[in-house]
Structure 1
Amino acid sequence: MDRPNYITPAGYAALRAEYEALFAVERPKLVETISWAAGNGDRSENGDYIYGRKRLREIDRTINRLSRKMKAAKVVDPAAQQDRSRVFFGATVTVADEDDRERTVTIVGNDEADAGAGRVGWDSPIARALRGAAVGDLRRLHLPAGECEYEVIAIRYPTP
């Protein structure tokens, strides 16, 4: 990865919790099941053994992916933001489009983005358009459906 993977402390904690659950709980149980199934004889028709090995590969891939994400993560606490008058990582921004429809988004790490919950990734088109904006600024956003313009109405950061 050539750029840092920005993430909030809560996002990092969620990655860490998932990693720990897989590595310390689920994987050992599965290894025990596979060992038991292997001792039952013919492995070619042993569903517990076959499924267990497949699930173990999935868990190992997920553990490796989470490990790489955590290694590349740069934890940034939005509450420690010095300049609260502009949009930076961790900001909760209220914008209005040309039809005066308001939308509120929080700019978070790409790994913790959830557009349905109003959390957009740092590298998403709307976050890139809003970076550095102040209240009252107009920002043009290029989307597949066409261009739209947003006005920044409010910027909030978590309190320290």
Structure 2
Amino acid sequence: MEKTIDLKLRQTTVSDLETLFEFQTDQEAGYLAAFMPKDPTDKPAYLSKYTRLLSDPTVNNQTILVNNIIVGHVAKFIMHGDTEITYWIDKKFWGQGIATKALHEFLLIELSRPIFGRVAFDNFGSQKVLEKCGFVKTGTDSGFANARQAEIEEFIYKLNS
């Protein structure tokens, strides 16, 4: 019998940022995310950036709750004219289908299309999440990944509808 996940999304608030910041400091998760701030432990910089983004009308930040516990976030933002998606799940909750369910729920409220997702070439978990939510791999790019201190390949995924 499949365990049901009591997952809810709600608009991210400033009070969520303390918890969400802590998730970003996990080194293994940061390595997989790859494209991180230069210093992911710089809490004032994180709080300043995300407090500003919470009031940006082009950004849709949602906090992911499971059993009323913050387990991550999912967001839509605009970069270089493209609508993009990002998400982060606390490592303690990996492998439970939470990212897939949260992204699926998010795409029901965020109707911008096309919408792109970018993922490190070796982040197989996030690749599967995007594919399960209907994203199709459309290309590759490369960029400097602060978490790895190297230029790496990233896969570009696209959702049209």
Structure 1 and Structure 2 fold alike (TM over 0.5): no
Structure that is richer in helix per residue: 1
TM-score bracket for the superposition, by shorter chain length: under 0.3
Q: Whose strand fraction is larger, Structure 1's or Structure 2's?
A: 2
- Bigger-Rg structure (1/2): 1
What is the TM-score normalised by the length of structure 1?
0.24
Q: Name the TM-score, length of structure 2 as normaliser.
A: 0.24
